[in-house]
């Protein structure tokens, strides 16, 4: 089974979900939100999928690592307080995880 299409599909869905959620949370330029989310997820999403599928690292550890990795870029890009960046990172990842879980469960 070729994993590249699955990785790309997961990345695309994650970016859409997180852009929508973050645009509801902060009222900034939608283009800026999408660019920041795209840049963050082009690093974290392939890494988490690769580590989970190939190296069988527990998903909760990987998701926790992604949340931590996203805090600082969100804080810098949108001039957020650290507590807001932490909350937004948790919410973004929870929403994209739930969406991916339900979509891939029923496919």
Query: Per-residue pLDDT tens for 70-100?
Result: 999 999 999 999 999 999 999 999 999 999 8
The range of the structural domain enclosing residue 36 comes to 4-106
Cα(62)–Cα(94) distance, integer angstroms? 13
Q: Pseudo-torsion of CA 83, 84, 86, 91, nearest 10°? A: 140
SS3 69: helix
Indicate the pTM of the whole model. Answer: 0.90
List, in sequence order, every beta strand (DSSP E) within 21-79. none
3 pLDDT more than 80: no
Q: What is the overall mean pLDDT for the chain? A: 92
pLDDT band at 50 (very low <50, low <70, confident <90, very high): confident
**Calpha distance 28→46 (Å, rounded):** 27
For residues 49 and 72, the model is more confident at 72
Q: What is the pLDDT of residue 54?
A: 86
Number of domains in the chain: 1
Q: Which of 105, 106, 103, 107 is nearest to 14 (CA)?
A: 103
């Amino acid at each position: 089974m070729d994993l590249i299409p699955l990785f790309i599909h997961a990345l695309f869905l994650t970016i859409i979900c997180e852009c929508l959620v973050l645009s509801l949370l902060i009222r900034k330029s939608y283009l800026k939100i999408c660019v920041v989310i795209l840049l963050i997820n082009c690093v974290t999403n392939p890494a988490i999928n690769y580590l989970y599928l190939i190296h069988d690292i527990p998903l909760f550890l990987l998701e926790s690592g992604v949340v931590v990795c996203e805090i600082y870029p969100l804080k810098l890009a949108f001039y957020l307080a650290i507590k807001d960046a932490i909350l937004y990172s948790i919410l973004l990842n929870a929403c994209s995880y739930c969406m991916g879980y339900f979509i891939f469960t029923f496919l």
